[in-house]
Amino acid sequence: MAGAGSRGRSRGELIRERTRARFVGRQAQVSLFSENLAKDPASSQDPADFLFHVRGVGGVGKSTLLRQWQEAARRAGALTAVVDEGDAHGVPQALVELARQLAEQAGPLKEFDKAAEQYRKDQEAAAAELLLAEGADAVQADASMSSRVAAQAVLGAASFLPGVGAATSMASPDAAAQGLDRLRAGARGRGRRGRGVDASGMNRAFVAELGRLCGRHPWVVLFFDTWEQTGGLLDEWLRDLLEDPSGTLPMNVLVVMAGRGVLAERPWAPLRPHVVDVPLAEFTETETRTLLAARGVTEPCVVDAVLRLSLGLPLLVELLALAEPESAEDVGADADVVDVAVDRFVQWVNDPHDRDAILACALAPRLNEDVFAAAVPQEARGRWGWLCGQPFVSGHGDFKHYHAVVRASMVRQQQAHSPQRWTETHLRLADAHAAWRAAAERDLPRPKLWSDARWLRHRLDETYHRLCAQPTCQLAAALEEAVHAAGQDVAVLRQWVDVLQLAAYDTVDAGLLAWARRLDAAVTGDEPKLAALAALLEHGSLSVEGRGRAHRQRGRCFGSADRHEEALAELNRAVALNPRDATAWGHRGGAHQALGQLDDAIADFTTVIDLRPNDHLARVVRGALRLRGDHHEEAITDLTAALDADPAHAKALMLRGRARVKTERYEDAVKDLTAALELDPHSAFAFVQRGTALRKLGRGEEAIADYTCALRLDARYTFALTQRAVLHREAGRYEAAIADFTTAVEHDPTDTVPRALRGATYFIVGQHDPALEDFAAVLELNPVNTLALLCRSALHQEAGRFDDAVADLTTVVDAEPDDLSVLTRRGNAHRLAGRCEDAIEDLTAVLDAAPDQARPLRLRGVAHRQSRDFPRARADLARAVALQGETVALLFETAMLNTVESGPEAGAEQWSELFTRDLPPSARRHVFRLLQRVVLEPSHDVTEAADDFLSSRPDRKNTTEALLYLSELFPLDGPLAARARRCHRLLAEHGGTG
């Protein structure tokens, strides 16, 4: 444009300059704010205030004052941002608008942009998983299975704890399945732990950006206009922001709210001492006269008439002044004050096209240049800039709007006096929004429509205009759409209800008013979605399809709140009304799954696949459910079919990898999980599953690397910590193992797996006291925890507490009567306690079930021998040798049998052979050596032999074994029996129990 470079000022600067020139009144309030900006917020004497609340009736000038304060702040070098009811449909939208305005002044807010983009992706992912992916032949479907269903199915499929020996028998599925939420791209949590997508990341990033901006600017001022409307959505968030839970808010952030009423007493009580209350009264007579004089209205009779009619409301004074009245009659005083002021202003507009434009645009709740062009006559389409300069038009960003008082008057008058034009304009605007909505749909997959702000805005405005044009015939369609809205975020439902309310108030239609009140009451309660859907089902004349959809949405809501029985009841109604609603079948499958009804869940997803043969996500979910039910081959078939349709489906690859682990196809599992990680390198679950496969392949260090990667992504992933600790323990890195187990315990003190394994590791390294503490804590949480009971029984035996060991082992036997190894352990504990008959009974039970086990045969042979039943002892030991060969242990027991039955000469051959063998590197080698010296070396000093044995620091169990063996020699006459008694006495004096 010619001359643009020489003028050096932007259009916005010119508008603000002219606005300042026109501003009259409120000088005390402007001074208050300006003086505050000059103060130091950190001063201990007179710090700057940081929280202002401007309040007053509609038309008193709150928004105008905020604009003046914003200009004052900018002159003081501050960054400013404003949100009002046009921006605040929820906290995320308000944050985005605040950040957009701040970025316009200070440059990109990269950290916030990244967080907002992640939030957008999370929303899209949550929306995508809220819907079973639509097949090419089912594009008309509008919604499907929730991500919760998929997550639950996957969670169950991964409930295992591999590779920890005895721990596998006591691993809780919940603990083992930790981290599976990483399979979901965005949904934060389920039920009471958080609905929908979490915006806390955006909030933290916004606070961080404020900190950065405040380091470079004296102030950042955040304005919240029309608080009577926006406060319902932002009040709690703003209070939290000021009280720092999302991060430290800088001292030079200043917050201004403007609304009609006072702040709520109880919620704002902690902050009330810090609130600067700025009540705006009507203009005084002096202020009104000053404004009129500034507008060229000085005729005394006219001024008096304006004083009487305007009630001191600045907006009405401004409108009446702009009408340039020449006499008191021009002002008028025989009708509604607002209507008179607006009417006088409209009459003042000389150009009929401008006048038509003003009236037509009043019918649009929000305006931009496109809406303006669709609303006004062809001849007025170049007057957008002129309209934006009118005193009752305000707004920022993409949209403008009329002052609510002015708009209500213009709407009221047009509906009463120009019903035909009213209908035509609303239909024209509805058709325009419908066309824009259709254009948006061309760029969006159907599942993402409701989460797209542009599409939603046009859908809402189209519905508003159709309701205004034809309230009676359009109400049914609007209520059907309300069912769809109730299936989205609560913020979307509230926007839909707001549209119904606005249309109801603008048309004063009785039917619309009744529904507006009914739905408003529903969405302001504790369960807005459920209440709104209940109202629609009870009072709305919904179609069969609409009723089915409403029951389906209620089922989803109940499921999200972990009320699965109620969810199932609603979903049963949904599929009864519409048996071809694949989405409802999917949700019902999720409810069955949550209730543990796995076969029913699989059947429901089979129905989904029958209705939508190309729905690969349904196959993924059914595969996950089959995996959970240990139908591994069928799971692989489903997941392979899904991958044939979509080879880049990361979750399907993860689950098939998991299924291949379960079927011991570890190499194939590694390939699947590696491919999954190439697609989703941030999946802690996939790293853990690949680590498990690598561990099974004996590639322990690679497995540790994968578990470490998982922990970098999620430091609280206790399953990964536990598995890495097990591998450290297997490699002899006990300190590293204990450290990982300890971290896992700290993250979840109720998870018995890492605590039990830590106790077992303490046991291995000989730290018995902390081991016993761990086992006691585990058994308090789970009295039948196998690993803790087995390890504690071993500790009891080492300490010579054989009765306590038997008690622990009996608890395990009662819980797992088919575990023969535990029954074998208990039999040996009975023998060590001197109860050979009980030992023989347990070991006989083991051998009745498994006759060819060498260890219980050897132990029963020892028990028979110590009971002096030599024939049975010899038979058992001979069978054990036949099964296992003549091991060191069997050779020793046979030598003892020959010796105690027939004397030392009879066992000499076995004793001699025994000590040509390599003795085991265990404590029993010292028992063997002691008996050798007592039996075969009569010249050797027994005291020295006993001292040598005791110098090996045997535990009470091995000492008891030695005492029992020595006592077997007592019946032999002669020097050997005497040596055995002397050695027995020496050991017993040092703490033996035999």
DSSP one-letter string for 303-369 = HHHHHHHHTT-HHHHHHHHHT---SHHHH--SS-HHHHHHHHHHHH---HHHHHHHHHHHTSSSB-H
Q: Are residues 298 and 267 in the same domain?
A: no
Instruction: Among 308, 333, 358, identify where a domain stops.
Output: 333
First-to-last C-alpha distance (Å) of the chain: 109
Q: Is residue 226 part of a domain?
A: yes
Q: Residues near 638 by Cβ (< 8 Å), separated by ≥ 6?
A: 619, 620, 622, 623, 626
Q: Residues near 438 by Cβ (< 8 Å), separated by ≥ 6?
A: none
Chain centroid to CA 793: 41
Radius of gyration of the chain (CA): 41
What is the Cβ-side half-sphere exposure of residue 340, based on CA atoms within 13 angstroms? 20
The pTM of the whole model exceeds 0.85: no
Query: Which structural domain range is residue 82 located in?
Result: 15-115+202-279
What are the strands, taking DSSP E only, across 708-839?
none
Q: Residues near 619 by Cβ (< 8 Å), separated by ≥ 6?
A: 609, 638, 639, 641, 642, 645
Q: Are residues 940 and 916 in the same domain?
A: yes
What tokens were used for 159? Answer: 């409930």
Q: Is residue 624 part of a domain?
A: no
For 655-690, give one letter per residue: b (16+ CB within 10 A) or e: bbbbbbbbeebbebbbbbbebbbeebeebbbbbbbb
Q: Give the H or E element holding residue 54.
A: strand 51-55
What are the strands, taking DSSP E only, across 76-211?
79-83
Q: Give the H or E element holding residue 417.
A: helix 404-417
Q: Are residues 235 and 306 in the same domain?
A: no
- Greatest distance between any 2 Cα atoms in the chain: 144
How far is residue 639's CA from residue 616's CA, in Å, rounded to a whole number? 9
How far is residue 579's CA from residue 604's CA, in Å, rounded to a whole number? 11
Instruction: Among 315, 333, 351, identify where a domain stops.
Output: 333
Tally of domains within the chain: 3
Of 496, 427, 502, which is closest to residue 466 (Cα–Cα)? 427
Q: Is residue 732 part of a domain?
A: no
pLDDT at 199: 76
Which stretches within 850-887 are classed as H helix? 854-866, 870-884
Q: Are residues 290 and 248 in the same domain?
A: no
Q: Are residues 29 and 85 in the same domain?
A: yes
HEC assignment per residue over 424-490: HHHHHHHHHHHHHHHHHHCCCCHHHCCCCHHHHHHHHHHHHHHHHHCHHHHHHHHHHHHHHHHCCCH
Q: Is residue 217 part of a domain?
A: yes
Q: What is the DSSP string of 933-964?
A: HHHH-TTS-HHHHHHHHHHT---HHHHHHHHH
Contact status, residue 280 vs residue 260, Cβ threshold 8 Å: no
pLDDT per 10-residue tile (average), the chain, 994 residues: 40 44 63 90 87 76 83 92 78 88 91 86 59 30 34 33 30 32 31 51 89 92 87 85 75 89 83 86 68 70 62 61 57 51 65 86 92 90 86 77 79 85 94 95 87 91 95 93 90 90 90 92 89 90 93 94 95 96 94 94 96 93 94 95 94 95 95 96 94 95 96 93 94 95 94 93 91 94 92 90 95 93 95 95 95 95 95 95 91 92 86 78 80 84 90 90 94 90 90 52
Q: Are residues 275 and 294 in the same domain?
A: no
Contact status, residue 923 vs residue 954, Cβ threshold 8 Å: yes
Q: Is residue 108 part of a domain?
A: yes
CA dihedral for 501, 506, 507, 508, sign (positive or negative)? positive
Q: Are residues 989 and 966 in the same domain?
A: yes
Q: Is residue 271 part of a domain?
A: yes
pLDDT at 167: 31
Q: Is residue 918 part of a domain?
A: yes
- Range 572-577 contact pairs with CB under 8 angstroms and sequence separation of 24 or more: 573/548, 574/548, 574/549, 575/548, 577/544, 577/545, 577/547, 577/548, 577/551
How far is residue 849's CA from residue 837's CA, in Å, rounded to a whole number? 19
Instruction: Among 333, 348, 372, identify where a domain stops.
Output: 333
Q: Tell the residue number behind the tokens 């304009």, with chain if given.
A: 425
Q: Are residues 929 and 958 in the same domain?
A: yes
What's the CATH code of the domain at 206?
Answer: 3.40.50.300
* Backbone φ, ψ for residue 422 (5° rounding): -55, -55
pLDDT at 318: 65
Q: Are residues 273 and 290 in the same domain?
A: no
Beta bridge mates, 254:
221
Contact status, residue 550 vs residue 483, Cβ threshold 8 Å: yes
CA dihedral for 439, 443, 446, 448, sign (positive or negative)? negative
Helix (H, G, I), strand (E, B), or coil: what is residue 833?
A: coil
Q: Give the H or E element holding residue 928.
A: helix 924-936
Q: Is residue 920 part of a domain?
A: yes
pLDDT at 151: 33
For 560-597, give one letter per residue: b (16+ CB within 10 A) or e: bbebbebbbbbbebbbebbeebbbbbbbbbbbbbbeeb
Q: Are residues 207 and 315 in the same domain?
A: no
Q: Are residues 948 and 970 in the same domain?
A: yes
pLDDT at 6: 35
Q: Are residues 271 and 308 in the same domain?
A: no
